[in-house]
Structure 1
Amino acid sequence: MKHHNASTASSDAVTSSNVAVNKKNTPKPVVVHHGNSPDCPDDDCIALFVNGDLLFHEHLWQHFANNPTATDGTAFNFDPLFTNMKPYIQASDISVCEFETPIAPRGGPYAAYPVFNIPPEVVDAAQHAGYNACTHGTNHSWDQGAAGITRLWDALDAAGIKQTGSYKTEEDSVKPLVIDSPTGGGKLGLVTGTVSLNGEVPDQDWRVDRLRESGDPHHDSDIQRAVDKAKAARKQGADVVAMAIHSVQEYLTKADSWQISEAHELADTGAFDVIYGAGCHCAQPIEKYHNTWIVYGLGNAITVTSHIPGHEVNNQGVSARIQFAGKRGKPGSWRVNRIDWVPTANERQGQYQWCPIAGDHPNGVCWDPATDAKQEQRIHDIIYSMGADNNVVREWRLTDEHK
């Protein structure tokens, strides 16, 4: 027994010595920041990737036709359009597209401007690109009536892409969209609204989220509906809420009066952490209004080339990564801490393809070095024309993050 006790005492002494040494030499625990972020300054971050309209005209979709009447998903292959976008989506947490138009049944018939009915294989490509969600509250939402809304809703749902903006049922129309970041950073609420339906009147007002202009008898109720959805999203655990607005004044390099008044009114409610827009088919400024960041116009993500004088801005866009920082599940701790933006072209070397301008991609220039540099500078000047702080709003060079 004594021998056993002596051994035990000796063993305990060694163990105690080792514990003391380990405590002394063990480094401090590494702080883990949840979220796919290059420099999360808080416990958690959500990096939201957004860009402008998926605007498919006939001359665009013809380039990607295999057998347009096929009903098995092989009629078109739009995947090449999104190839260069994938690394930017992968460098974000939640990626949201903007579906400008309804989709046709598999195999057609299709229709282009002014009343769209585009190939449904666009949904397939959006899924393959990695979008988590899509908004579709736009001026073209009612182009094909309730049937068009149903087709788009069902196709996105089947692809596992979350959505909001236009609705099959009234029950769906009042549900807030809440997206849990797949990297664990937090939950995002997403609300939409469009100023116009091109003069069309749906069978039910709830079919499409609206933001009718000041003076319209529905204006106040539209604002309130958006706020109610934002509040409902927070009750369901959303740490931050983004608002996507869709305008109809096209080809402007500055925010129009509706965009400014509507965005400011929404910001004044305190319900939204960021507001961003599409619909103008052009890049527009970024503004900090009081404590709310507003990205007025993201232009087009994917579109046909316009050769109409004055409409060349249609051929460019902006993709942005809006980063929120805070503590998951702790209201009031969240803020926008950076907005990374990359100017984009709708072509690369004469082929339709989303292309980051200024060579920020291994595949090189979009048009040619001189044109790329000119358009990059033009969009840069527009982005900062309303005083955005370049310590927060930064041109996004993905290649720098990978060095």
Structure 2
Amino acid sequence: MNRRRSRPTLPTRLAPVALVAALAGCGVVGGVPGSAPKGGGRSFTVAAAGDILMHPQLIDQARADARETGRGTAGLDFGPLMAGIKPVISKADLAICHMEPVIGKPNGPFETYPDFLVPPQIAGTVKDIGYDTCSTASNHSLDHGYTGVKRTLDTLDAAGLEHTGSFRTKKDSLTPLIMDVKGVKVAQLSFAFGFNAHELPRDKPWLVNQNDLGRIEAAEKRARAAGAEVVILSIHWGREHRPNPTVPQLEFARRLARETDIDLVIGHHGHVVQPMEKVDGTWIAYSLGNQVARHAVPTGLTEEGVIGWFTFTERGGTWDVEARYEPTLLEMPPEARSDADGAPAEPAKGQVKDYRVVDVAAELERDDLSDLQRSRLRLAFDRTEGTMLNRGAAKDGLKPLVERPG
């Protein structure tokens, strides 16, 4: 039985020009974003983005940036890498990250696939760009066992980030994460399909949440009983590198929409952008792609991501959710080359020199882009738009947060 009441599509509230001004850091224009729309009650905004993975090339970039900025900890500064998305993330009333890997120690050692161990310095950057909370249930959660889980959560705590999905104690696993967002009690859940070659320890089966409809439903009920008015599910699912959700994803999404009262589903693990669609009144984001990752074999799709932007508005005791998306791109320098004397060669004219995560729409406003850069940004925006809408979400009002500049 579908227990959810229908949620009508909301009218557009913001002109693109106003959004550009607000999200580019020029100050919040009256009514932008997150204020209650005309005729509505309480309102708040949520920004959520894709997987955070720190591959070796990105750690090398943070090391080079620390030498330039003189900032960071233990010779690593991830700030310049991530700064391009701060104007969007920091404007949301609640910003949700997905911390996929296990966090290590400041001086390493660091590890990449298959068992990730990444610098803890990334947590401070995630907080600095505006994130409030992170989901931590992923297929890599158990890469370094209980010690890795505990260190990851301790690091997020030290950075001032909330978290859920993996836990230090059984009591923690049964205690809902509920945050006050503009006077609304919002709960976050986090679940993952499995843990690669690792298994949950027999004496700690609660260590990481594993996908199961009954467990998700029970977690939602605990959150509601603890006072949650809105429940958001972060879920690690599907298959990697596929721009379309799998049949099991689609089926599970329908069960989540019809058999629970979860208000929003945010998907991860695909490492490429997958569509959003509204199922029986519930928005499902199947995969937000990568927020930041540098795979061993970049495909073009793996550098593209999306920030989902959701406006919740209370109407007659229920919550309407308006969905938007903002394409992002990890700009990548060319593979390292050497000149005839063995010294590092400069990138060719028009190529980027550093790894940088950028807000595609904002970056396209620049007037100093090379033709090559502009072409790549347009491709990222148009491809993301096509993917976002390829399950018919346009009819339910899904559109870009900011329209693509010329």
TM range, smaller chain: 0.7 to 0.9
Partner of residue 333 from structure 1, selected from 318, 336, 339: 318
**Does residue 376 in structure 1 map to residue 361 in structure 2?**
no
SS of corresponding position for 2:106? coil
Answer 1 or 2: which has greater helix percent. Answer: 1
**2-side partners of 1:398 and 1:160: how far apart?**
33
SS of corresponding position for 1:276? strand
Equivalent residues of 2:137, 2:166 under 8 A apart: yes
2:331 alignment partner in structure 1: 347
How far off its partner does 1:359 sit?
Answer: 4.3
Equivalent residues of 2:36, 2:42 under 8 A apart: no
List per-residue Cα deviations over 1:29-77 (Å, max 9, x = no partner). Answer: xxx989734846512112111000101111111111259xxxx933311
2:107 alignment partner in structure 1: 107
List per-residue Cα deviations over 1:102-127 (Å, max 9, x = no partner). Answer: 11122111111111000110111111
Equivalent residues of 1:344, 1:356 under 8 A apart: yes
2:91 alignment partner in structure 1: 91
**Does residue 316 in structure 1 map to residue 304 in structure 2?**
yes
**1-side partners of 2:304 and 2:105: how far apart?**
29
**Does residue 250 in structure 1 map to residue 240 in structure 2?**
yes
Equivalent residues of 2:309, 2:323 under 8 A apart: yes
2:5 alignment partner in structure 1: none
Partner of residue 396 from structure 1, selected from 377, 401, 404: 401
How far off its partner does 1:276 sit?
Answer: 1.3
Q: Which aligned pairs between 1:176-255 and structure 2 lie closer than 5 A?
A: 176-181=176-181, 184-203=182-201, 204-211=204-211, 222-255=212-245
**Identical aligned residues as a percent:** 28
Q: 1:120 to 1:270 in 2, by over 3 A?
A: same
Q: CA RMSD in A?
A: 2.5
SS of corresponding position for 1:368? helix
2:282 alignment partner in structure 1: 292
TM (norm. structure 1) is 0.80
2:42 alignment partner in structure 1: 44
Partner of residue 260 from structure 1, selected from 239, 245, 250: 250
SS of corresponding position for 2:391? coil
**2-side partners of 1:34 and 1:334: how far apart?**
19
Partner of residue 54 from structure 2, selected from 40, 53, 56: 56
How far off its partner does 1:296 sit?
Answer: 0.6
**1-side partners of 2:364 and 2:376: how far apart?**
16
SS of corresponding position for 2:221? helix
List per-residue Cα deviations over 1:77-136 (Å, max 9, x = no partner). Answer: 101122121111232100010001011122111111111000110111111112110001
Equivalent residues of 1:34, 1:185 under 8 A apart: no
**1-side partners of 2:266 and 2:380: how far apart?**
21
List per-residue Cα deviations over 1:227-280 (Å, max 9, x = no partner). Answer: 122122222222211111112511111111232122221112232011110110
SS of corresponding position for 2:393? coil
Larger Rg: 1
SS of corresponding position for 2:232? strand
Q: 1:138 to 1:41 in 2, by over 3 A?
A: farther
1:174 alignment partner in structure 2: 174
Q: Which moved more, 1:255-264 or 1:338-347?
A: 255-264
Partner of residue 356 from structure 1, selected from 342, 359, 364: 359
1:10 alignment partner in structure 2: none
Equivalent residues of 2:273, 2:289 under 8 A apart: yes
**1-side partners of 2:238 and 2:280: how far apart?**
25
Q: Which amino acid aligns with 2:162?
A: K
TM (norm. structure 2) is 0.79
SS of corresponding position for 2:57? helix
Equivalent residues of 1:139, 1:197 under 8 A apart: yes
Mind listing any 5+ residue stretches in structure 2 that lack a counterpart? Answer: 1-29, 333-351
**2-side partners of 1:41 and 1:105: how far apart?**
50
**Number of corresponding residues:** 347
List per-residue Cα deviations over 1:271-327 (Å, max 9, x = no partner). Answer: 20111101100011111111111111100001126545xx32111101011111106
1:20 alignment partner in structure 2: none
